[in-house]
């Protein structure tokens, strides 16, 4: 029997919200953090290889990161690395990779998965991936994996199921009603208490032909750019398409607009490690004063609580004392000390955009 299942690992992001560990020359997906044995992208690849054959896994990334992908995934065929000339978020990436797969296999069913997720229950994850791929292969729909929330978290997007909290059961796809990107704390609590909302995992399933058809309905300007596929040189088309494409996520471009979106409710320990806040939520140790600590070399830590301490500079003695809710991140070229607050971090990133700091980006 022909296998029509494919996976696209989305690995083109720069990971600015994870600065200064994540830098332009080696972004987050290629890092090992918090004493991990492997990088994010390596874990993602191995996780997806349990459900999809290795030769059916594609990695979409920036041209500058091709060698990094090959370094971390040496068994991946070179032709399976889909190179993007510029970062344009996930909607152009989905359009491009769907075109590649449709040309390769007109019956291709794809799962698109970010490269920086933290999954703890592998068996349950695998079960849901297989179930979702089967459902997407049998139905002309857009399907996302929805995680039953464990808390009212403002770091994740939410998807509301149609019919209310009683309308869904784990493992059974249900029609999606609304999408909401990262609500404030008050709204997140309303969502959580209602039982009608799931975390939007950002893991999507669909036939390549179906997602392209839905994009033509919902974001025609974006998909029209690719109409010359097969008629002109691919490198020329890709350069033109990415030059003309707006920077937009697949959530905004398609999922929020389509009336053909379904969600598969799932329950396992999951986190999108998209920022220091989400890493803290996933890594803080209540038994260690609520700290998340990953330090190389010797350290002296006194009266520190609810903080993130990280160092990649071996050979140093790290001494931190009398801090609460702070971040101390020490790398080869950058030392960051600031409150553990997303708003403060965003202010720092804005300053980093100035030309005199370009070497530290």
Q: What is the CATH number of the domain that holds 77?
A: 3.90.550.10
User: Are residue 319 and residue 353 in the same domain, yes or no?
Assistant: yes
Query: In this structure, is residue 278 part of a structural domain?
Result: no
pLDDT of residue 257: 94
Among 31-35, 129-133, 341-345, the range of highest mean pLDDT: 129-133
pTM comes to: 0.92
Mean pLDDT score, 106-120: 93
Domain count, the chain: 2
Query: In this structure, is residue 303 part of a structural domain?
Result: yes
pLDDT beyond 90 at 353: no
Weakest-pLDDT range from 1-5, 40-44, 136-140, 200-204: 1-5
pLDDT of residue 294: 87
User: Are residue 288 and residue 211 in the same domain, yes or no?
Assistant: no
* Distance between CA atoms of residues 279 and 18, nearest Å: 9
- Which among 271, 297, 330 is the end of a domain? 271
User: Are residue 33 and residue 160 in the same domain, yes or no?
Assistant: yes
Query: In this structure, is residue 279 part of a structural domain?
Result: no
User: Are residue 81 and residue 149 in the same domain, yes or no?
Assistant: yes
pLDDT beyond 90 at 316: no
User: Are residue 190 and residue 323 in the same domain, yes or no?
Assistant: no
pLDDT beyond 60 at 54: yes
φ, ψ of residue 188 to 5 degrees: the values are -60, -35
Confidence bin at 312 (pLDDT 50/70/90): confident
User: Are residue 71 and residue 183 in the same domain, yes or no?
Assistant: yes
User: Are residue 250 and residue 296 in the same domain, yes or no?
Assistant: no
Q: Which position has the higher pLDDT, 119 or 236?
A: 236
Q: Which domain holds residue 266?
A: 5-271
Q: Omega into 248 within 30° of 0, i.e. cis?
A: no
pLDDT beyond 80 at 184: yes
User: Are residue 125 and residue 77 in the same domain, yes or no?
Assistant: yes
- Non-local (6+) Cβ contacts of 15 within 8 A are 22, 27, 28, 29, 116
pLDDT beyond 80 at 35: no
- By CB atoms closer than 10 A (0-12, 13-18, 19+), residue 85 is middle
Residue 314 CA: distances (Å) to CA of 39, 44, 226, 295, 328: 19, 27, 48, 9, 15
User: Are residue 184 and residue 299 in the same domain, yes or no?
Assistant: no
Query: In this structure, is residue 189 part of a structural domain?
Result: yes
pLDDT of residue 118: 84
Helix (H) or strand (E) holding 145: strand 142-147
Mean pLDDT for the chain overall: 92
User: Are residue 67 and residue 127 in the same domain, yes or no?
Assistant: yes
315: left (phi over 0), alpha (psi -120 to 50) or beta: left
Mean pLDDT score, 186-208: 94
pLDDT of residue 192: 92
Confidence bin at 341 (pLDDT 50/70/90): confident
pLDDT beyond 80 at 313: no
pLDDT beyond 90 at 109: yes
> What residue spans of the chain are helical by DSSP H?
40-48, 66-72, 90-104, 122-138, 185-194, 208-218, 220-224, 234-244, 250, 276-283, 342-352
Q: Which position has the higher pLDDT, 52 or 348?
A: 52
Query: In this structure, is residue 277 part of a structural domain?
Result: no
Query: In this structure, is residue 157 part of a structural domain?
Result: yes
- Which among 247, 271, 295 is the end of a domain? 271
User: Are residue 115 and residue 41 in the same domain, yes or no?
Assistant: yes
pLDDT beyond 70 at 287: yes
Confidence bin at 117 (pLDDT 50/70/90): confident
- Which among 238, 271, 304 is the end of a domain? 271
* Distance between CA atoms of residues 291 and 330, nearest Å: 16
Query: In this structure, is residue 73 part of a structural domain?
Result: yes
User: Are residue 236 and residue 315 in the same domain, yes or no?
Assistant: no
Query: In this structure, is residue 61 part of a structural domain?
Result: yes
pLDDT beyond 90 at 36: no
Question: pLDDT above 90 covers what percent of the chain?
Answer: 68
Mean pLDDT score, 32-42: 85
pLDDT of residue 160: 93
């Amino acid at each position: 029997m022909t296998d029509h299942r494919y996976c696209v690992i989305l690995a083109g992001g720069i990971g600015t919200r994870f600065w200064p560990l994540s830098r332009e020359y080696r972004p987050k997906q290629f890092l090992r953090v918090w004493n991990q044995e492997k990088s994010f992208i390596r874990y993602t690849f191995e996780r997806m290889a349990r459900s999809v054959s290795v030769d059916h896994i594609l990695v979409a990334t920036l041209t500058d990161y091709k060698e990094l992908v090959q370094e971390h995934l040496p068994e991946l065929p070179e032709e399976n690395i889909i190179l993007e000339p510029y970062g344009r978020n996930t909607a152009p990436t989905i359009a491009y990779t769907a075109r590649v797969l449709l040309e390769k296999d007109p019956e291709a069913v794809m799962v698109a998965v970010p490269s920086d997720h933290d999954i703890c229950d592998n068996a349950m994850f695998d079960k849901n991936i297989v179930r979702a791929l089967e459902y997407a292969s049998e139905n002309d729909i857009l399907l996302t994996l929805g995680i039953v929330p464990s808390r009212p978290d403002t770091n994740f997007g939410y998807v509301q199921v149609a019919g209310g909290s009683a309308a869904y059961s784990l493992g059974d796809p249900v029609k999606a009603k609304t999408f909401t990107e990262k609500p404030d704390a008050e709204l997140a609590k309303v969502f959580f208490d209602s039982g009608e909302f799931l975390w939007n995992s950002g893991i999507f399933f669909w036939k390549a032909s179906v997602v392209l058809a839905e994009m033509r309905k919902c974001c025609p300007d974006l998909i029209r750019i690719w109409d010359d596929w097969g008629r002109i040189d691919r490198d020329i088309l890709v350069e033109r398409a990415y030059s003309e494409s707006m920077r937009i996520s697949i959530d905004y471009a398609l999922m929020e607009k389509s009336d053909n979106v379904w969600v598969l409710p799932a329950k396992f320990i999951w986190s999108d490690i998209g920022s220091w806040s989400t890493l803290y939520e996933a890594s803080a140790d209540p038994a260690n004063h609520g700290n998340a600590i990953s330090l190389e070399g010797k350290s002296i830590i006194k009266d520190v609580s609810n903080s993130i301490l990280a160092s990649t500079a071996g050979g140093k003695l790290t001494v931190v004392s009398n801090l609460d809710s702070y971040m101390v991140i020490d790398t080869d070229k950058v030392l960051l000390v600031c409150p553990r607050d997303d708003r403060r971090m965003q202010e720092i990133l804005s300053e980093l955009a100035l030309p005199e700091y370009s070497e530290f980006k």
